[in-house]
Amino acid sequence: MSAFVDAQSGGFSINLVHRDFEGSPFYNPKETPARRVGIAGRRSIGRVHRFSSRSISDPSDPDAQLTANNGEYLVNISLGTPPFPIVAIADTGSDIIWTQCRNLAGPKRLFDTKSSSSYRTVSCSSNACNSLQSEGSSCSSDGSVCEYQVSYGDQSHTQGDVAAETLTLESKTGNPVALPKTVIGCGHDNAGTFSPKGSGIVGLGGGPASLVSQLGSSIGGKFSYCMVPYAAAKPTSTMNFGTNAVVSGNGVLSTPLISDPSQPTFYFLQLEAVSVGSKKIAFQGSSIGGSGNIIIDSGTTLTLVPTDFFSQLSDAVETQVTGGTKTSDPEGFFSLCYVPDSSLKLPPVTAHFKGADVVLTSDNIFIQVNDKVVCLAFYANDQLSIYGNVAQQIFLIGYDLPKQTLSFKPTDCTNT
């Protein structure tokens, strides 16, 4: 049964694994927790550079490894018939579904199109090719096959064919969810710093080539996710599609989901202010995104805000913290850190989105660097404002694209 039928009859859910958790191919047991968190913070800054220069074919785009292995949440997918397993990044900040493909003498860990009976390249005149124009689509030299090209600032690049192929997701019920004729990029010329540990990306952005857009009406334009906190014993989070993605019941808060036709990939929100205790700090944020001033993104760890706002927020938190002992980040990345002993009392913090006052928990405000240090999970950045995944943890986050709303529901994500 195809995923389109499954989605219409009840939706489906899949597991997500954080790249730094045990069980991920990127997990490095030799790294200290402080080192992992510091690297995740730096990945957040790398995404800003990429988002700020959205022209994918522009060689000045600086973050070469992002498409290959710098997202935060991984999903197990398969491509082809018979299914070939791939570890992919699930990314709301990307549109294209892309993987490294095997050449004649290439490594067997990569997808071999010749071994799949369902693989078909697409023509330059097809709607599928047109949907990838923002990803640098073009025609082959003989004009018969649609191609894509992605270039990066360190001279890494990937280029290959645009194809229709069966993509299979591993659902939480154990029943594979097959998506026939999914439009993908199949990279045959991959040079630079692409990781051998992860060879794919599943774009979940708002553009026409993303998985969400390709599923379209079969999922009613709905998806959601519930991400466990960094300190959770359970390493898996959940992503839902279709009727499984409906966010309802007590405690649900909704805010407009704002689209910008010039940047269809990104999901913008309007953040009006953040309160720390009784102090309310007005938020201006980024000037892009129409009336939206902050991007919500699953692949950015920290919440990135303008320097002036960050200074006010950090000062307000520091002023209202009681007990505990202020300390330094072992990696020197974060600016406000404390020893998390029993005397530490954090002020209440509320994110005031348009129409939704979202009360954050300590797990959303501070990130645990190690057993002896927690640090403020916000970071100063004047290029772009992003509401990161630490702030989204322990909430069921629902996207309803037809209604253009995003919903928050406080949820124990370890039980989803």
Over the stretch 367-381, which tens digit does the pLDDT of each residue have?
A: 888 878 899 999 999
Q: Name the residue type at position 376.
A: L
pLDDT exceeds 60 at position 344: yes
Of 6, 91, 95, 161, which residue is the catalytic one?
91
Q: Which two tokens stand for residue 191?
A: 């040079």
pLDDT in tens, 293-333: 999 998 888 999 999 999 999 999 999 999 889 999 888 88
* CA-based nearest residue to 388, from 41, 8, 9: 41
Choose between 133 and 309: higher pLDDT: 309
Choose between 177 and 35: higher pLDDT: 177
* CA-based nearest residue to 151, from 92, 63, 72: 63
Of 63, 297, 329, 363, which residue is the catalytic one?
297
User: What pLDDT is recorded for position 52?
Assistant: 56
With bands split at pLDDT 50, 70 and 90, how would you rate the model's confidence at 157?
low
Whether residue 176 is preceded by a cis peptide bond, meaning omega within 30 degrees of 0, is no
Q: Which two tokens stand for residue 16?
A: 């997500």
With bands split at pLDDT 50, 70 and 90, how would you rate the model's confidence at 231?
low
For the residues 241-245, what does the mean pLDDT come to?
Answer: 96
Query: How confident is the prediction for the chain on average, in pLDDT?
Result: 83
Q: Which contiguous run of DSSP H or E holds residue 410?
A: strand 405-410
* 198 in Cβ contact with 383 (< 8 Å): no
Choose between 61 and 77: higher pLDDT: 77
User: What pLDDT is recorded for position 54?
Assistant: 43
Please report where in the chains the tokens 């993987």 appear, as a residue.
99
pLDDT in tens, 12-70: 999 998 877 777 777 777 777 666 777 776 676 666 655 654 433 333 322 222 233 44
User: Would residue 91 show up in a list of annotated catalytic residues for this protein?
Assistant: yes
pLDDT exceeds 80 at position 92: yes
User: Would residue 58 show up in a list of annotated catalytic residues for this protein?
Assistant: no
d(CA 33, CA 30): 9
**The whole model's pTM is what?**
0.87
Q: What percent of the chain has pLDDT over 90?
A: 47
